[in-house]
Amino acid sequence: MHATTVLELDLGALRDNYGEVSRLAGDRRVIGAIKADGYGFGAAAVARELDACGAYGVWTGNPEEAIALRGAGATGRIIMFGGCLPGRIGELVEHSLIPTVHDVDGLATAARVGEQRGEPTAVYLKVDCGLRRLGVPVARAAAVARTIGADRWLRLEGLYTHLPFGDAEGGEWALQRSFAFRDLLHELSRVGVTPKVTQLWGSSGLRSALPDPSNAVCVGQLLYGFSPVADSDPLPGTFRSVIASLTTRIIHIGDHTDPNAAPASAYSFGTSARVGVVPVGTADGMRAGWRGRAMHVLVRDRPVPIIGVTLEHVMVDLDGLDHADVGDEVVLIGASANHEVTLAEWADWFGCSQLEVAVSFLNRLPKRYRGATVIRG
Ligand SMILES: *Cc1c(COP(=O)(O)O)cnc(C)c1O
């Protein structure tokens, strides 16, 4: 099957970004965040590359995805860091996935699972240092960690928290909140509780080089080439976008020059004489321009305006071109001889972040990988 629309993903860029992250991480372990199907890039493909790069493991956010990853042949360490109901912990352990516990109910279940299996359940304990999402409140975390230590059916493999931020003010908040995690690690080490993996920072903390008392980083955005603090701090050129291009073809050209053609109205797609139909629509992550922003794609090395967006299609105004044919290539992301459309432009047009654009495009459009290191038969 030859898909008309193709999102080309460059796994070489992912590996290069891993190299950059690894340099920033110094002697800390690097764990790859592959939640949300590897941020849309495909959890299985990303996990294989990160494994080949020597990542300590991957952290996933959803039990179905984690189990599917094992089914796809992933053999490395997979830690479940999204929440799940305590009742599913047994199932995770069966699939050699390391569960996170984020409350006391989860602990009791994990201990029961350990007892049933006759071996302690290795768990990561998630601590809430102020994000107010998942986790045991930091003030109670030392007591919970000691409870785990004292339970013969539990083993505290890791301890982590999450303090993401997107601007300088957030960075100050994260730094202040991180001291609570630092103090927790000190307190635990004084009583002899030293989990193998401790982790505080993701992309934003790593990129901002905030002080780190832990021994691992868990990074998503930087690996995929997104700046976690975009506006104030674009990534150095050594980071590359994993999205190499998004291209499709014109599938229909409507000729509206015929004097008998229906006249344009407020309900029709513009007044153009020639309307090209492109098979990428709302269901593929396309949206209308935020606050009426003008958007364009490239056809025959010329920017052509988007004049309508529907569930499966966008309509483009071809009047500015001398000539266009059904089957002509349409560049949504990428370069032609003299022009380029970037993810950053789509983010500006949609009024959202590059990560949000990427995730919505990656959700349904057919992906094609290039540059894989690991060839699987
Ligand atoms: C998503 C996530 C990360 C990675 O965040 P990035 O900003 O993409 O690097 C780290 N830790 C936790 C708990 C997460 O949910």
Best mutation site among 46, 58, 81 for ligand 1 pocket (most ligand atoms within 8 Å of CB) = 81
Tens-digit pLDDT profile for residues 151-186: 999 999 999 999 999 999 999 999 999 999 999 999
Kindly give the number of the ligand 1 atom that is closest to the alpha carbon of 199: 11
CA of 199 to the centre of ligand 1 (A): 11
Kindly give the number of the ligand 1 atom that is closest to the alpha carbon of 221: 8
List the residue whose alpha carbon is closest to atom 3 of ligand 1. 202
**What is the rounded distance in angstroms from the CA atom of residue 372 to the CA atom of residue 325?**
34
Residue carrying the six token digits 């020639």: 274
231 pLDDT band, cuts 50/70/90, is: low
Residues 6+ apart with CB under 8 A from 19: 53
Tens-digit pLDDT profile for residues 261-316: 888 888 888 889 999 999 999 999 999 999 999 999 999 999 999 999 999 999 99
**What is the rounded distance in angstroms from the CA atom of residue 134 to the CA atom of residue 112?**
22
CA of 266 to the centre of ligand 1 (A): 45
373 pLDDT band, cuts 50/70/90, is: confident
**What is the rounded distance in angstroms from the CA atom of residue 11 to the CA atom of residue 13?**
5
pLDDT at 84 over 90: no
Best mutation site among 46, 129, 203 for ligand 1 pocket (most ligand atoms within 8 Å of CB) = 203
pLDDT at 377 over 50: no
Kindly give the number of the ligand 1 atom that is closest to the alpha carbon of 35: 1
Contact 54, 81 (CB under 8 A): no
List the residue whose alpha carbon is closest to atom 14 of ligand 1. 162
Residue list, ligand 1 pocket, CB within 6 Å: 33, 35, 81, 162, 164, 202-204, 218-221, 228
DSSP state of 98: B
C-alpha to C-alpha distances, 152 to 110, 119, 120, 155, 271, nearest whole angstrom: 11, 9, 6, 8, 74
Tens-digit pLDDT profile for residues 95-140: 989 999 888 888 999 999 999 999 999 999 999 999 999 999 999 9
CA of 374 to the centre of ligand 1 (A): 25
Q: What angle do CA 74, 77, 81 make, to 5 degrees?
A: 105
pLDDT at 376 over 80: no
List the residue whose alpha carbon is closest to atom 6 of ligand 1. 220
Best mutation site among 101, 219, 222, 239 for ligand 1 pocket (most ligand atoms within 8 Å of CB) = 219
Kindly give the number of the ligand 1 atom that is closest to the alpha carbon of 161: 13
pLDDT at 13 over 90: yes
CB neighbour class for 268 (10 Å; exposed up to 12, middle 13-18, buried from 19): middle
Kindly give the number of the ligand 1 atom that is closest to the alpha carbon of 355: 8
CA of 78 to the centre of ligand 1 (A): 15
CA of 218 to the centre of ligand 1 (A): 6
Percent of the chain topping pLDDT 70 = 98
Contact 32, 47 (CB under 8 A): yes
Cβ atoms within 10 Å of 174's Cβ, excluding its own: 23
What pLDDT is attached to residue 374?
64
Mean pLDDT of the 84-88 span: 84
CA of 115 to the centre of ligand 1 (A): 32
Residue closest to 198 by CA, chosen among 209, 187, 179, 182:
182
Percent of the chain topping pLDDT 90 = 79
